[in-house]
Amino acid sequence: MKILFVCTANICRSALAESVLRKKLRQKGLTDIFVDSAGVHDYAAEPYDSQMVSLACRAGYNMDGCAQYLSSMMLENADIIICMEHFHMVEVQKRLPYAKWNRIHLFNEICFNERTDLPDPSGDTNYMYYYVFDKIIEGSNIIVSKLSKQISL
């Protein structure tokens, strides 16, 4: 199985979600699930948001690497595409055949049963960074629980 997280630039939310989910899946022994992330805007090779990297590091998550631009191959290969905002879902729908739209999900919806966006903390307050960080940690725990029980996302 391949899970792809999508956000605007892949420098903050989706990159963190990739790092967190990958570690949590490994800890649960779910090693047959591949996790990746990308952005709908081309910030390829840009460094990750330093404030989020610092938060992740202090919590034991490794956010090394740099942003990736969402490619058609990434979309084609993903079994589950998790978007941080409705806008990202629309962008993915533009790039993916209609028959595969069932792969596209909103992070807050699959994790918390809320059809709301997970806000972008980039350039915002420290509070917003902590809020988004905590939501991604909590949401990743829910995703792992569903996957380990083989519950459909």
Cβ atoms of 42 and 116 within 8 Å: the answer is no
What pTM, to 2 d.p., does this model score? 0.96
Domain residues for the domain of 112 are 2-148
Residue 122 lies in a domain: yes
Residue 9 lies in a domain: yes
Residue 82 lies in a domain: yes
Residue 153 lies in a domain: no
Residue 58 lies in a domain: yes
CA–CA dist 153, 143 (Å, integer):
7
Q: What confidence tens digit (pLDDT) does each residue in 99-125 have?
A: 999 999 999 999 999 999 999 999 899
Measured at the alpha carbon of residue 151, what is the angle toward residues 98 and 2, in degrees to the nearest 5? Answer: 55
Residue 12 lies in a domain: yes
Residue 117 lies in a domain: yes
Domains of the chain: total:
1
The CATH number covering residue 68 comes to 3.40.50.2300
Q: What is the DSSP string of 89-106?
A: HHHHHHHS-GGGGGGEEE
Q: What confidence tens digit (pLDDT) does each residue in 48-80 have?
A: 999 999 999 999 999 999 999 999 999 999 999
Find the Cα–Cα–Cα–Cα dihedral 62, 63, 64, 65, rounded to 10°. Answer: 150
Residue 57 lies in a domain: yes
Q: What confidence tens digit (pLDDT) does each residue in 2-60 have?
A: 999 999 999 999 999 999 999 999 999 999 999 999 999 999 899 999 999 999 999 99
